[in-house]
Amino acid sequence: MIADVTDLTSQLVAALKNLDSLQSKQIMKTIENEHTDPYPVIEQILIQSLEQIGLEWEEGTAALSQVYMSGIIVESLITQHFKEARSHHPQDKKIGIVTLADQHTLGKKLVSMMLFAQGYQISDLGQGLTPEQIALAVSEQGIDILLVSSLMLPAALQVKKIKILTWGFYKNYCGWSSLPFESTLVERGWR
């Protein structure tokens, strides 16, 4: 009997939160043994598991350290075992990621790991950049989709400036912040 994807995802979430890389690998092996084309299933379970742990962090039932270490385990599983087999997400847009104005890079790393797990290629534009430097990098590197991370409130409020500086040649932004529960930032910084 083939194990249910939802069950396997729950098992993997538990293993990742316990930082149990051996159990995580065992779950992957179970899928490999049970499916003739296992990699789409593996990819789906890895992504759903990371998303689930991220949601649990927002709700207060997982810690940031678990989000990070889960990403590390998943990254390792992919690079060590599924590098050749994994599908690369069809990507006609160039994605850039940057930390705006401050030096807190963990958020950027977490999002990068998540996108890596989904098969995306990302260009790291750096950290501690000003809106002007980011606008220049976007233009020079031909970035189509820009992911902006910020931790400090004044930095989060500068996102508007990036939009103004790139107005007319750039339309795709995705912002997040370490202040995920603060809804007023959407109006004040991101729109």
Closer residue to other proteins, CB minimum distance, 115 or 179: 179
- In the list 39, 68, 120, 170, the residue contacting other proteins (rule: CB under 8 A) is 68
Closer residue to other proteins, CB minimum distance, 42 or 74: 74
Q: Per rule CB under 8 A, is residue 182 in the interface with other proteins?
A: yes
Q: Per rule CB under 8 A, is residue 120 in the interface with other proteins?
A: no
> What is the arrangement of strands in the sheet containing 122-129, beginning at the earlier edge strand?
122-129, 95-100, 145-150, 172-177
Distance CA 61, CA 40 (A): 28
| Shortest Cβ 185–other proteins spacing (Å) | 7
123 CB contacts (<8 Å, ≥6 apart)? Answer: 94, 95, 96, 97, 141, 143
102 CB contacts (<8 Å, ≥6 apart)? Answer: 127, 128, 150, 151, 152, 155
Q: Per rule CB under 8 A, is residue 104 in the interface with other proteins?
A: yes
Q: How many residues bind other proteins (CB under 8 A)?
A: 30
Map residue 149 onto helix, strand or coil. strand
- Residues in touch with other proteins (CB under 8 A): 17, 19, 57, 60, 62-66, 68-69, 101-106, 109, 128, 152-155, 157, 179, 181-182, 184-185, 188
